[in-house]
Homo-oligomer: A and B are copies of this chain.
């Protein structure tokens, strides 16, 4: 039911994901009428791989997390999280209220041992066509050095599963020199330079974010959220200006479309907004947040991210890594 478009996007995305991923089973949770009418519009109906659980209520986007928590029973989001908690689903994908999703996940799924706060992580595109993962993107509005350190450990464990070797982990800061920054980043840097479990490479600045300077970038949730949205807004501005020119009905526009649609499509992939499926790390279960504005293809991507994390057993990988860090400290 979540996201700006509800079942009009989530139902076609589920149908498309089922044909993309042969191992997938989907449970659609929400208003049965809306869901079945979308399904029949697409010429589909519930079957062994696609089931529906009806719920009457939806947690709205403006609901405060604390209130959403109290009123979650019987809501589509609450029911989805319950299924994961009861091991009746392997992962939850939601386009709904981020704060509510976080509060519910934390309350019902519980945090992994050694984790004080979950973090929202997502991949950003880079100049060379690779990716940089960034966390926290706003699961928390403030963090201490211990949390930032845990974000680094979690991000490192996640990304190692994806790229196959120890990722370069950096802290986002206002300068690359050791003396730069606030107490938070300085204390986290000190902790990271003392562990062997994370390949810590130091600080990076905002202008290096999309330039492959690190595989994992750690920051507090306020900074991460503002920074990601700034990237998206700047990229969108450039894309819009080019689009304007490409769509012109003049001869120039025609030539631009003929010659530069390849470049234009490449530039579009450099908008972090094109990715979808931010993962809520630190929980004893897999929860993927889809953009509110995501289209069908983007929601399919978010489902793909969930499948990936289930296969790689990301929560266990994180747990193992945390244990190694704790052991390292004791001996």
> Chain A residues in contact with chain B, CB under 8 A?
62, 64, 127, 138, 141-142, 172-174, 177, 179, 181-183, 205-211, 219, 221-223, 225-238, 240-242, 245, 252, 255-256, 259-260, 263, 266-267, 270
Contacts and interface: CB of A to CB of B under 8 A. Distances in A.
Given A138-B174, A182-B141, A223 B223 contact: yes
A185 to B, nearest CB: 8
A238 B211 contact: no
Contacts of A236: 207
B233 A182 contact: no
Contacts of A183: 142
A263 B237 CA distance: 13
Contacts of A206: 225-233
Contacts of A237: 127, 210-211, 270
B260 A174 contact: no
A258 B237 CA distance: 23
Contacts of A242: 263, 267
A141 B181 CA distance: 6
A256 B258 CA distance: 12
A328 to B, nearest CB: 30
A146 B74 CA distance: 44
A222 B223 contact: yes
The 7 closest A-B pairs by CB, nearest first: A206-B229, A207-B233, A206-B230, A234-B234, A141-B182, A238-B238, A174-B225
Contact of A209 (B177, B205, B230, B256): B230
B238 A263 contact: no
Given A177-B62, A245-B263, A210 B182 contact: no
